[in-house]
Structure 1
Amino acid sequence: MAAMDSVRAARLLKGVRDAALSGHRPPVDPRPVIEESWSRVLRRGVDPDRDVRARLLSLEELEERRRTSPLAEVLPELRRGLVSIADAAQHIMVVADTEGRILWREGAPAVLRMADSHGFELGADWRESMVGTNGVGTPLVARRPVQVFSAEHFVRTHHNWTCAGSPVTDPRDGRLIGVVDVSGPLDTMHPATLALVNSVTRLAEAELRTRHLSTLDRLRTTAVPLLAGIPGRAVVVDGNGWTAAVTGMAPTGRLALPKSFGPGRTWLPSLGSCQVDPLPGGWLLRPDDTDGTTAGASAVVVLDLSSPRHPTVSVSGEAGSWTHELTPRHAELLYLLAVAPAGRTASALAGELFGDAGRAVTVRAELSRVRRYLAGLLDGRPYRFREGTDVRVILPQDPADLLPQSLASTVVRARRGERG
């Protein structure tokens, strides 16, 4: 019965895909995440009827990416949670980096051989812009778990395959570090696969968080006696800005550090001008006694969204300049505030982001994190950039590339070239 249901579903999806590609009205609408993906890959010229493959990574390149990937730290956790289940279900587990390159691949030998015939092999490039809608590349763009079933794959030769992928985020800095996918033949599909993959990736993120807390504890044992002998204000942070110990000032969970950070004098929005000295596993920051915690009324804020994968915010003013790479959610929030100078309430922002104005508490929590690195530049009730702040937004060359993971109505309209 399940096999018959899979066959019927595949046949229906083929009709949906064929209608969408020919410009006709489909018998049913594709799921929004799939429709958005099809639109992206059509714009990029992916051939729906031709299997195109990029050069595989060399063995040396593969090993170097494995060595430097944070995913290597949690590979045992992923194997424990997925490999045995994938093997029994005639599936394989695939782990890819943020560029969609397959770094690890394990599971049923017969399915591994089938994957080879699709080019789903070690070192292969499975970005959405290369091979179309799929369980590796599409979650990387959408930044959420995605199951791709049969003809939901954009390229026709992948239609006898089903994939469920979930992005992995590093809790130390909030950055995307890769994607975990479970894939297999169409007739082995199970509706719970996506939930399983998502659960295991969350366990992997929890393991990274536990490792980080242990590292922070070791830094704290060095920091506490050091700070006892320092007059005035000082704080010790790890390489990602997480606070290990403070003296002479209120404690904070994390300081946002700029991308280029090192010993010497620097300026941070939350501390002002300060002296930076290296420590084993972190930094000692000693702020000047003058109050420099805000960028000033004449600050220029540049929200650079030109690169869909690397949005940044830059602040410059009398106290100095500073650039911070944004998470997708923070980029989304700052864009919604930048295009609404009069401001938006937490409820209005929640309605935009989640389609549920009742999730205002979640919005407030996120904006409290944003204010850690935009101290003095954001007001509340409603949330908006402070009066006198010069806010500039750099958009992608193609409007359709604006915040591709966002479902906020304002962003969707802007991607379509609509105003208001």
Structure 2
Amino acid sequence: MSPDAARPHMRAEVAASWERSAAAGVEVGQGDAPITLETPDLRGRREAHPLARVFPLLDDVLGREVRDCGAVMALADAEGTLLWVCGTPETLRQAERIGFVEGSNWDERLVGTNAPGLALATGREALVTREEHFRSAVRSWSCAATPIHDPLTSRLLGVLDVTGGDALVVPQTMAMVRAAARLAEAELARQAPPPPAPSDARTTGVRLLLELLGHDEALVTVDDGRARLSRIRLSRRHSEIVALLAATPGGLTGDELAVLLYEEDGGTSTLRAELNRLRGLLGDELLASRPYRLTAPVTGDWLAVEAQLAAGDLRAAMQGYGGPVLPRSTAPGIVALRERLAASVRQALLRSGTPELMSAWTRSGWGRDDYEMWLAQRSAVPATSPMRALVEGQLARLDAELG
């Protein structure tokens, strides 16, 4: 990491972004952002993008305010390419000097820490002020950004950003950007075609989305097939049951489920009681018996990671890997599921030789003491990289701790 990174009071999320930027090979003195879409391609990308339907609304509710305060409003796609950049002619000329123009890409792996790139990397709103930018050329600017998602599928569509001077560094800026993004999502939902009317209650197209990675208690989103979503946080035991049933679409007998659920024999009557309570939470129609199974199609964060690994898309898999499956569970079936996925991700990382992806693992709570990964990262990082000192320091720490 650059010596500049040692300045006091750097926020943890910014420090992590600096590490990702350095690991990706971005240099502090690097110039303009790369242009990844030339004008003819840019025009076609904008016309085909879902955010084109709400850009006029965003320009009306946010763009005018931004122009009045000498800033620019930008709308990027999910890859970090700026599709629209709006502002006064003078402000646009100033932004052009740092390459903040339509068609440029502001993924932090290409241009270092910035609000649109940080929002894409973390999936959360981001504020990056002057000296928090990784590249020195951008440090006279501040920016605030938030993701925009498809309201029906939750798919990331892009990022809304406001970039300007010191006047932006107030809480009202992020509130304004956040409100505009939510307004855009509401408008996208309003424009969506209505789902076809079901023929009966059992053909409504109900779907379950399970989030298990990094969560001690599963988050379950029930989509009723009519664009209405309900969200439930399950107890740890119910989380384990749902995860095991989701991992076995054909279903499990009571005895099979008990073996995967309990560390010791017994618990059959307790399991029946737990299943009855779970059925009360999910609904009779979603949890069947003989064998026990989930009756709705299931999507899950760990399933997405498995699919991305199978497809060879390690970058997407690492972005989706929010931590081990139900990390505190000791249920034998969950332990096996957790270890299998973690081992698959880890081996893919070791084979990849990609420093920034390895860095994402070693920065995490579950990977910070992974000696073999630190060694692989040292081999992959050039001797001249500012990341080399960090990697060597962590290996020295582990050598001391491990004796």
TM over 0.5: yes
Q: What corresponds to 2:111 in structure 1?
A: 131
1:52 and 1:130 in contact (8 A); partners too: no
Deviations 1:105-153 (A, max 9, x none): 1122211111111111111111111111112212110211111111211
State which of 46, 60, 63 in structure 1 corresponds to 2:43: 63
Equivalent positions of 1:223-262 (< 5 A) are: 223-224=198-199, 234-236=203-205, 243-244=224-225
Amino acid at match of 1:152: E
Deviations 1:337-362 (A, max 9, x none): 2766615xxxxxxxxxxxxxxxxxxx
Equivalent positions of 1:155-304 (< 5 A) are: 155-186=135-166, 189-212=169-192, 215-216=194-195, 219-220=196-197, 223-224=198-199, 234-236=203-205, 243-244=224-225, 293=293, 303=306
State which of 78, 91, 96 in structure 1 corresponds to 2:71: 91
Q: What corresponds to 1:409 in structure 2?
A: 365
State which of 85, 100, 122 in structure 2 corresponds to 1:105: 85
Q: What corresponds to 1:393 in structure 2?
A: 344
Offset of residue 270 of structure 1: 9.2
1:141 and 1:404 in contact (8 A); partners too: no
Offset of residue 155 of structure 1: 0.9
Residues 308 and 181 of structure 1, relative CA distance in 2, 3 Å threshold: farther
Alignment: residue pair count: 295
* Paired residue secondary structure (2:194): helix
- In 1: Cα distance, 2:130 partner to 2:337 partner: 52
Residues 55 and 200 of structure 1, relative CA distance in 2, 3 Å threshold: closer
* Paired residue secondary structure (2:93): helix
* Paired residue secondary structure (2:325): helix
Q: What corresponds to 1:342 in structure 2?
A: 330
- In 2: Cα distance, 1:119 partner to 1:389 partner: 44
* Paired residue secondary structure (1:181): strand
- In 1: Cα distance, 2:37 partner to 2:6 partner: 41
- Structure 1 regions of 5+ residues with no counterpart? 1-19, 246-250, 255-267, 274-289, 313-326, 344-377
- In 1: Cα distance, 2:155 partner to 2:175 partner: 22
- In 2: Cα distance, 1:57 partner to 1:50 partner: 20
Offset of residue 41 of structure 1: 0.8
Q: What corresponds to 1:310 in structure 2?
A: 316
- Structure scoring higher RCO (CA < 8 A, sep ≥ 6) equals 2
2:58 and 2:180 in contact (8 A); partners too: yes
Equivalent positions of 1:11-90 (< 5 A) are: 21-22=2-3, 25-26=6-7, 28-90=8-70
Offset of residue 70 of structure 1: 2.1
- Structure 2 regions of 5+ residues with no counterpart? 210-221, 232-245, 252-289, 296-301, 375-393, 399-403
- In 1: Cα distance, 2:5 partner to 2:83 partner: 39
- In 1: Cα distance, 2:364 partner to 2:338 partner: 27
Q: What corresponds to 1:354 in structure 2?
A: none
- In 2: Cα distance, 1:168 partner to 1:92 partner: 18
TM-score when normalising by structure 2: 0.60
- In 1: Cα distance, 2:31 partner to 2:69 partner: 26
2:5 and 2:18 in contact (8 A); partners too: no
Q: What corresponds to 1:115 in structure 2?
A: 95
Deviations 1:355-382 (A, max 9, x none): xxxxxxxxxxxxxxxxxxxxxxx98xxx
Amino acid at match of 2:178: N
- In 2: Cα distance, 1:234 partner to 1:340 partner: 37
* Paired residue secondary structure (2:94): helix
* Paired residue secondary structure (2:2): helix
Amino acid at match of 1:178: G
Amino acid at match of 1:39: E
Offset of residue 405 of structure 1: 11
Residues 389 and 66 of structure 1, relative CA distance in 2, 3 Å threshold: same
Deviations 1:219-263 (A, max 9, x none): 12xx33xx59xxxx645479x995448xxxxx9979xxxxxxxxx
Q: Once structures 1 and 2 are overlaid, which stretch shifts more, 168-177 or 37-46?
A: 168-177
Residues 51 and 180 of structure 1, relative CA distance in 2, 3 Å threshold: same
Offset of residue 60 of structure 1: 2.8
2:143 and 2:168 in contact (8 A); partners too: no
- In 2: Cα distance, 1:190 partner to 1:45 partner: 32
Identity of aligned residues (%): 27
- In 2: Cα distance, 1:234 partner to 1:131 partner: 48
1:98 and 1:177 in contact (8 A); partners too: yes
1:86 and 1:108 in contact (8 A); partners too: no
TM-score when normalising by structure 1: 0.57
Residues 34 and 390 of structure 1, relative CA distance in 2, 3 Å threshold: closer
